[in-house]
Amino acid sequence: MKHTHAVETKLRGFVALFIDQCRSSGIAFSGYSRRDPVALANRNPDAIIVNVKRARHIAREDHGWDLPSEDELHQQAMKGDA
């Protein structure tokens, strides 16, 4: 049996990405699925479904969101700060 740490530190899964209707140039995330992007798309028909790493890249590079790196997230999780 494989044992893993109780705190999830890997960026996995899929999110639904929308144009934020409140801000014309903003984005919004809604919904998450660890393994089933098709079901996520069915629940969010107006969204673009992207993996978590791509969503973070879009938020950081295209919209200027200040997001910690994967290494920083891992360190925070191990310290209990996440």
Average pLDDT of every residue of the chain: 82
Pick from 5-19, 31-45, 50-64, 67-81: least confident:
5-19
Total-model pTM = 0.67
The DSSP code for 62 is I
**Is residue 73 predicted with pLDDT exceeding 70?**
yes
Count of positions (residues) in the chain: 82
**Is residue 35 predicted with pLDDT exceeding 80?**
yes
Angle at alpha carbon of residue 14, lines to 17 and 24, rounded to 5°: 10
Q: Contact 49/41 with Cβ under 8 angstroms?
A: yes
Domain ranges of the chain: 14-79
